[in-house]
């Protein structure tokens, strides 16, 4: 059958959203991801669309199991996000959300590196609009920093592609590896978008600043596109295992001390990405399956958590753990849905996180990376700690906050979106075969064997114990009204102060120089005017005698010159 670009329905939906309003727009926006998912379903595996451009063969569309899986995933995420944001009237935000989702779909179907680059940059632009959508100074600043990082990633990608293609490789987007400098550049570009350690700050910086629904979209696409790209281009690259393990562990500490609950989730997002990166780094069929499966479940449960926090933010306008609490009295449904998300991210058996995370952990153990395995166990416990317990505890329980009086359930569309996500979490958790069937490699993996379940339950129990005892003995870091800086310190403190110091000096030198130049210029101009104005030396009528003098002088001069 005729191959349709799967990104088309979402992009058309975005265009339609520009020109329509009210219910029509709502219907169109919901229809767009549904139609898109149908397109994904109707496509033939292995089909490609190619065309020639300037002597290069470009493949804007390539359909295989990996892209199909992400195609479904992104349409589901887009649907959840759209439903969640139905109550909005902000055209800019709605349009850029859909366009953003469309670009993500386009990116995973890109069959060549140039097409990938184009969507890569489009992703950056559309998502930056979402970050800025709140419109205040903080959001604009975060948006610009975000855009800067994303564009840097795009530029690195382009340079990498050029170097890679220049070394005689084809432009097809398949396994790239790190054998060539171009490959390294591309890896770094992917790494920036996957929030590798030290280049992760754009994520924790920007996501908490977006609007409630904006964050839902943001958390779903950018990093998952990067994970997809890593899985396709760099499967089995060993360095990724250690990078991933670091990613899984270090955010835990930050997540524990972070006060903004969405920032906690952002750190937790990096931690989940760490699991996937480890899976990609191992590169066996089981590990890759686990990585992409975890990407799928993560989109749903992280989306659910983001949605529930967004709902709290929407209702109260507050996101700091220190100011929230006790909301279960007024928002019981939200609280329940949030708990489903928390259970999923913590990988409780029967919830979605369990079926995917256990695949990665098993693969790690199977390939004999014991240290990494321990790190992942620690990370898994930490997840339960900060995402599974901290989020619902501080938002809905803890002490009663001043918001309890005025709080209420969020709009219906939000609840519907969250319920859909929660249903998916439980559905995948109970019937993992549904997900496994879509994975790129055939698998007979079973999550529910005794050892997995038992190990996970022990982990969870002790983690809960730790949290409880810390809390009881008041050792738990209190929620402080603070913004903490990690590696961002380099560019939010060190760079500005250094630059400032430099600029002050440059400015001083510059001012002195310009002052000097200006006064010199002024002097020259004044003397020109003085001598050339109608009464000036050179312009006034001279007495005959002076003319004679000039003549004599010139004669003298020429005589001297000629005799020399």
Partner 1 sequence: MLVVLAPLVAAPAIVLIGRARAAWHLALAAVVASFAAACAIAWKVSREGAIDYALGGWEAPWGIAYHVDFLGALVLLTVTGIAVAVVTYARPSVEREIPESRRYYFYGCLMLCLAGLLGMTITGDVFNLFVFLEISSLSSYALIGMGRDRRALNAAFQYLVMGTIGASFILIGIGFMYMMTGTLNMADLAVRLPEVADTRTIRAGFAFLTVGIGLKVALFPLHLWLPNVYAYAPSVVSAFLGATATKVAVYALLRIMLGIFGVEFSLGEMPLHALLVGLGSLGVVSASLVAVFERNVKRMLAYSSVAQVGYMVLGIGLANTDGVTASILHIFNHALMKGALFLALGAVMYRIGSVHIRDLAGLGRRMPLTAAAILVAGLSLIGVPGTVGFVSKWYLVLGALESGLWPLAALVLFGSILALIYIWRLVEVVWFERPAADAPAIDEAPLQMLAPILVLAFANLYFGINTDLTAGLAQRAAEALLEVNR
Which residues of this protein are in contact with partner 1, per CB under 8 A?
Answer: 528-529, 532-534, 536, 538-539, 541-542, 544, 546-548, 550-551, 554-555, 557-559, 561-564
Nearer to partner 1, 480 or 554 (CB): 554
Nearer to partner 1, 477 or 522 (CB): 522
- Measure the N-to-C terminal CA separation of the chain; round to a whole number of Å: 96
- Please report which helix (H) or strand (E) contains residue 517, including its range: helix 495-532
Nearer to partner 1, 92 or 527 (CB): 527
Three-state SS at 409: coil
Nearer to partner 1, 516 or 542 (CB): 542
- Rounded to a whole number of angstroms, the minimum distance from the CB of residue 549 to partner 1 is 10
Our separate counts of H helices and E strands in the chain read 22, 2
- Please report which helix (H) or strand (E) contains residue 58, including its range: strand 56-62
Tokens of 404: 């309890």
Nearer to partner 1, 434 or 555 (CB): 555
Q: Which residue has the tokens 């969020």?
A: 410
Q: Which contacts qualify for 160-165: CB closer than 8 Å, 24 or more apart?
A: 160/184, 160/185, 160/186, 160/187, 160/188, 160/189, 161/113, 161/114, 161/117, 161/186, 164/113, 165/113
- Rounded to a whole number of angstroms, the minimum distance from the CB of residue 551 to partner 1 is 6
Nearer to partner 1, 18 or 559 (CB): 559
- Gyration radius of the chain's alpha carbons: 31
Contact at 8 Å (CB) between 75 and 22? no
Nearer to partner 1, 198 or 539 (CB): 539
Cα–Cα distance, 330 to 336 (Å, whole number): 12
Cα–Cα distance, 227 to 374 (Å, whole number): 23
- Rounded to a whole number of angstroms, the minimum distance from the CB of residue 517 to partner 1 is 19
Contacts of 34 by beta carbon, 8 Å cutoff, 6+ apart = 75, 79
Three-state SS at 4: coil
Nearer to partner 1, 451 or 546 (CB): 546
Nearer to partner 1, 490 or 538 (CB): 538
Strand partners, 48: 62
- Rounded to a whole number of angstroms, the minimum distance from the CB of residue 516 to partner 1 is 23
- Rounded to a whole number of angstroms, the minimum distance from the CB of residue 558 to partner 1 is 4
Q: What is the 3-class SS of 117-177, one letter each residue?
A: HHHHHHHHHHHHHHHHCCCCHHHHHHHHHHHHHHHHHHHHHHHHHHHHHHCCCCCECCCCC
Nearer to partner 1, 495 or 559 (CB): 559
Cα–Cα distance, 429 to 453 (Å, whole number): 12
Nearer to partner 1, 51 or 562 (CB): 562
Strand pairing class (48-53; 56-62): antiparallel
Tokens of 379: 């990370």
- Rounded to a whole number of angstroms, the minimum distance from the CB of residue 514 to partner 1 is 23
Distances (CA, A) of 501 to 440, 498, 508, 513: 54, 5, 11, 19
- Rounded to a whole number of angstroms, the minimum distance from the CB of residue 540 to partner 1 is 9
Which among 424, 271, 466 is positioned nearest to 357, based on CA atoms? 271
- Rounded to a whole number of angstroms, the minimum distance from the CB of residue 520 to partner 1 is 18
- Rounded to a whole number of angstroms, the minimum distance from the CB of residue 523 to partner 1 is 16
- Rounded to a whole number of angstroms, the minimum distance from the CB of residue 169 to partner 1 is 48
Which among 111, 276, 99, 106 is positioned nearest to 191, based on CA atoms? 276
Which among 352, 345, 370 is positioned nearest to 433, based on CA atoms? 352
- Please report which helix (H) or strand (E) contains residue 61, including its range: strand 56-62
- Rounded to a whole number of angstroms, the minimum distance from the CB of residue 522 to partner 1 is 16
Tokens of 260: 């903004």
Nearer to partner 1, 511 or 532 (CB): 532
- Rounded to a whole number of angstroms, the minimum distance from the CB of residue 529 to partner 1 is 7
């Amino acid at each position: 059958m005729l191959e349709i670009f799967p990104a088309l329905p979402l992009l058309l939906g975005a265009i339609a959203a520009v020109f329509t309003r009210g219910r029509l727009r709502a219907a169109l926006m919901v229809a767009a991801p549904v139609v898109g998912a149908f397109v994904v379903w109707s496509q033939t595996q292995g089909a490609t669309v190619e065309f020639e451009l300037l002597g290069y063969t470009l493949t804007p569309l390539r359909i295989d199991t990996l892209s199909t899986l992400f195609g479904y995933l992104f349409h589901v995420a887009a649907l959840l996000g759209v439903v969640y944001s139905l109550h909005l009237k902000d055209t800019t935000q709605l349009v850029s959300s859909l366009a953003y989702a469309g670009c993500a779909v386009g990116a995973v179907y890109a069959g060549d590196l140039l097409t990938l680059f184009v969507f890569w940059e489009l992703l950056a632009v559309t998502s930056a609009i979402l970050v800025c959508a709140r419109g205040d100074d903080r959001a604009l600043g975060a948006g610009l920093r975000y855009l800067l990082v994303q564009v840097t990633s795009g530029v690195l990608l382009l340079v990498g592609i050029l170097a890679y293609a220049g070394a005689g490789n084809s432009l097809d987007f398949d396994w790239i590896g790190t054998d060539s400098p171009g490959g390294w550049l591309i890896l770094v570009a992917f790494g920036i978008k996957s929030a590798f350690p030290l280049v992760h700050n754009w994520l924790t910086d920007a996501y908490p600043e977006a609007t409630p629904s904006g964050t839902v979209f943001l958390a779903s696409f950018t990093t998952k596109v990067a994970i997809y790209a890593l899985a396709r281009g760099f499967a089995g690259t060993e360095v990724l295992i250690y990078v991933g393990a670091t990613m899984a562990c270090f955010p835990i500490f930050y997540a524990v001390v972070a006060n903004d609950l969405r920032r906690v989730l952002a750190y937790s997002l990096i931690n989940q990405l760490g699991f996937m990166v480890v899976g990609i780094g191992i590169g066996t069929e089981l590990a890759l399956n686990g990585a992409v499966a975890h990407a799928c479940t993560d989109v749903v449960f992280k989306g659910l958590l983001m949605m529930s926090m967004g709902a709290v933010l929407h209702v109260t306008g507050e996101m700091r753990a220190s100011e929230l609490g006790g909301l279960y009295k007024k928002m019981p449904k939200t609280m329940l849905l949030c708990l489903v998300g928390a259970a999923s991210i913590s990988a409780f058996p029967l919830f979605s996180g369990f079926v995917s995370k256990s695949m990665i952990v098993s693969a790690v153990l199977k390939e004999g990376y014991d240290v990494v395995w321990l790190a992942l166990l620690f990370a898994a416990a930490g997840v339960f700690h900060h995402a599974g317990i901290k989020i619902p505890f501080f938002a809905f329980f803890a002490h009663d906050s001043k918001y309890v009086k005025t709080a209420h359930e969020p709009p219906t569309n939000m609840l519907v979106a969250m319920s859909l996500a929660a249903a998916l979490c439980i559905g995948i958790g109970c019937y993992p075969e549904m997900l496994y069937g879509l994975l790129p490699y055939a698998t007979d993996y079973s999550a529910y064997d005794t050892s997995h379940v038992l190990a996970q339950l022990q982990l969870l129990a002790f983690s809960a114990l730790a949290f409880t005892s810390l809390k009881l003995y008041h050792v738990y870091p209190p929620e402080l009204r603070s913004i903490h800086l990690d590696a961002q310190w380099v560019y939010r403190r060190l760079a500005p102060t250094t630059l400032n110091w430099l600029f002050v000096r440059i400015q001083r030198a510059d001012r002195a120089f310009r002052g000097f130049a200006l006064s010199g210029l002024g002097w020259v101009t004044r003397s020109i005017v003085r001598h050339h104005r109608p009464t000036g030396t050179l312009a006034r009528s001279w007495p005959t005698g002076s003319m004679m003098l000039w003549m004599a002088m010139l004669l003298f001069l020429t005589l001297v010159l000629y005799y020399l």
